[in-house]
Structure 1
């Protein structure tokens, strides 16, 4: 049953999905969220790639720990305003960007999620096709003809997973929470079984925690450690930016911090170690090093094991897609027109859009993927800096919840026509700097650090501009929720 709109709230800014909701989640739900985010085919390949940089295993572990601890700190910082006000990321953006200006960071994050939703669905469908061909080799005839760059069999796998993900999403946030609560542990169980089988077949003496033939020392090794740390931060920057979409449901910040501790440094380190054991063992067992977990599972001469492994990794990819790339644009697009776009409709807009970008063509072009990652980091970094500076330094951790849904010119977050041009200016300048780093050859060595550049530049510029702006005042209204 639809509840009446709170008095003074504007239908241009409010619907039940965007407004404050009951906070029932515990630390385990946050832990499970991060398990779903980490435990994917993409996460597996990414973790393995860090051990192939030519670094000693202890150097890789240092990079992993430093990078993921940076993410943990940032996740805790970004979680607080949403947990405090019980509202999602795009609504929190109204503090810094204005009640209508918030659509800028919301749409940016939403479009990024659409692209990755398509890519992750394609990756999972590729895994599904491997299993289909294992049991039904006669289906290979449908892999020969193509439409829009994808085989007919590829379309079958992609659309099958597209429908499954949409069905899980449509059941609502409570069902999504229940899904991710068991998805992460299931993947761990299968990975431990797979690692045990690999070690048994290869012998522990043949397992190495270095996946590269070259060995770096001195300054080369140090610079690679720094780069690996930056890669970890960039990899997790997307879901961390809109982490408030999930922290809003938590009972307290202590629950959030506990969940982040187990879900980020502890979970990511454990997942990475198990991953490198499996990848390292594929060389003596299969005669070649396999970085794709689905390809590894498909080589096992046991149909039950293949089915179990494929189910686990497809489930994992569905999990990360829903939490990182479905929920986010659902809130982001709903924020644009709350009276017309519900959370479910926003999510389906993202899902449909993911088909039309033909993600398989995007993913199969390494140069496009490379530039896409760096450009996206150039947009995301400044948003982190602006949001953190605004909440902690400008607003002093105070939020006027009612004003977040007030579109009147006297509203606290109205600024100038509903837009805070101070934040927009800082975002544009910092993003342009990040894009310049990506495309100007002389600045290419800094490309892997685009997130850090954007974050510090965006936050710094915003702070300097805001100091001279009368638009930013301390929240003194009685409806403010203190930090």
Structure 2
């Protein structure tokens, strides 16, 4: 139901949204079709990827055992579950995407600041993840047709002919899926989310059989001191929070399509503490099994599949990993910039147009060159990533503590001076005063080598610092807060 239709149905004089702030995609969701399984499958798509597998397996190599990895990441996923529920509640109750949610705290024009920060990060990673998926496709193609090796002898803009073929093919497939809108995204996640489990379970059964069904859950290939194990334990919790801080910020983009908050909580529960921890455990068990069978920790599942020695098994596994990577790419790196760019110019840019701009930008930046440049990945994307925690801190504290969940949705689409979210020239200076110094501190902790010991906690520190600063700045505002006409109040 549109804003105007909702007003007509309730008998309230019709509110006319400012065309500079709204279009069909930014307005409250008209349809709520995402059920528990859809959200569960979305989390499977986001979690089941090569990066998370390698991250969990790498902890074993660093000196943690299977039980320590299990407990640390379980704690991390429970914290992520709570954070996703907080953002998910906002999206589900009000039906609006992240850029519109950002207007509550940053102002109707200031919301472009968090939206564009999130968009730039997502576009860069969208290209990089597409490239990583194309690498898996290359493995598949070369295994099935060795004659394609000749396609790898010459390169253009840093990528050989086979690489270009695989990358462009995946780029087009993803563009086709997302050009059909969020309903198409939902259906794709329902398919690719469970797909990787088939390969992972088969891989686990194979490696356990090779290991005579006996592996150690308490040993590690590189034993370290008890103190170092504890440092790594807390570091793993911090790093997993930072990894999912990107999607935690804009999870309302998905929860807005859920029919009720219970649906959001159940989908998150099965997708995060349950499924995500299970995936981590299978990844670590497979890696531990590789130590016993091959005498070394193989942290890349594609390399482990290659040990099987069957070409078509390798082809099937590579295809599945490519599909899984496309799944996480669409969830974590496409939906957000599509909405974020639509928010910049709603009259001209829809969700689909924003998505097409994102895909083109992800191609133009030649992501394979970005990925091979540690300076770009670590300092540019890592620095921007450190800003996400402070944004989350401001938005959450503003909604739950300052505004107490009392939001006038109509006013989110009004740019009239004096309107509720206009603040000062459309920007909330208090949000900026809390965000900017917190982002600077988080970036320094994440990037400066002297602070490497606390770098895994930069997201958490940035979130806490921005929330604390915003609390101090808004104490008087909270005291004076009152329910606005037509506002929605969070219960409980």
TM-score bucket of the superposed structures, by smaller chain:
over 0.9
CA distance in 1, matches of 2:170, 2:231: 40
Q: 2:419 aligns with which of 411, 417, 423?
A: 411
Q: 1:476 aligns with which of 462, 483, 487?
A: 483
Report the CA distance between 1:14 and its aligned residue. 0.5
Consecutive unaligned residues in structure 1, runs of 5 or more: none
Q: 2:205 aligns with which of 196, 203, 222?
A: 196
Deviations 1:353-400 (A, max 9, x none): 112222212222345433345423321110110011000000001110
Q: 1:46 aligns with which of 46, 51, 55?
A: 55
Report the CA distance between 1:440 and its aligned residue. 3.9
CA distance in 1, matches of 2:284, 2:174: 29
Give the aligned CA root-mean-square deviation in angstroms. Answer: 2.1
Deviations 1:165-217 (A, max 9, x none): 11111122112111111211121122111211222233223x34478422123
CA distance in 2, matches of 1:214, 1:392: 45
Query: Matches of residues 364-375 of structure 1 in structure 2 within 5 Å?
Result: 364-366=372-374, 368-372=376-380, 374-375=382-383
In the alignment, what sits opposite 1:123? 132
Contact 2:56 2:69 in 1 (8 A): no
In the alignment, what sits opposite 2:342? 334
Report the CA distance between 1:268 and its aligned residue. 1.1
Give the secondary-structure state (helix, strand or coil) at the position aligned to 1:400: coil
CA distance in 2, matches of 1:283, 1:163: 39
Q: 2:183 aligns with which of 154, 174, 177?
A: 174
In the alignment, what sits opposite 2:398? 390
In the alignment, what sits opposite 1:149? 158
Contact 1:110 1:332 in 2 (8 A): yes
CA distance in 1, matches of 2:381, 2:241: 12
Query: Matches of residues 272-287 of structure 1 in structure 2 within 5 Å?
Result: 272-283=280-291, 285=293
Contact 1:130 1:298 in 2 (8 A): no
In the alignment, what sits opposite 1:451? 459
Deviations 1:245-302 (A, max 9, x none): 0011111111111111110011111101111222333445566543222333344333
Deviations 1:104-141 (A, max 9, x none): 00011111101111111111000000111111212112
CA distance in 1, matches of 2:50, 2:219: 18
- The 3 A distance-change label for structure 1 pair 279 and 441 is closer
Report the CA distance between 1:334 and its aligned residue. 0.4
In the alignment, what sits opposite 1:35? 44
Give the secondary-structure state (helix, strand or coil) at the position aligned to 1:480: coil
Give the length in aligned residue pairs: 480
In the alignment, what sits opposite 1:113? 122
CA distance in 1, matches of 2:250, 2:484: 27
Query: Matches of residues 240-255 of structure 1 in structure 2 within 5 Å?
Result: 240-255=248-263
Contact 1:134 1:298 in 2 (8 A): no
Contact 1:400 1:475 in 2 (8 A): no
In the alignment, what sits opposite 1:348? 356
Report the CA distance between 1:7 and its aligned residue. 3.6
CA distance in 2, matches of 1:219, 1:3: 57
Greater shift, 170-179 or 331-340, is seen at 170-179
Contact 1:51 1:209 in 2 (8 A): no
Contact 1:99 1:414 in 2 (8 A): yes
Report the CA distance between 1:53 and its aligned residue. 2.3
TM score, norm. by length of structure 1: 0.94
In the alignment, what sits opposite 1:76? 85
- The 3 A distance-change label for structure 1 pair 445 and 60 is same
Q: Moved runs in structure 1, 4+ residues, more than 6 A?
A: 2-6
Contact 1:31 1:262 in 2 (8 A): yes
In the alignment, what sits opposite 2:369? 361
Contact 1:80 1:247 in 2 (8 A): yes
Contact 2:80 2:241 in 1 (8 A): yes
- The 3 A distance-change label for structure 1 pair 147 and 88 is same
- The 3 A distance-change label for structure 1 pair 446 and 388 is same
CA distance in 2, matches of 1:436, 1:237: 17
Give the secondary-structure state (helix, strand or coil) at the position aligned to 1:11: coil
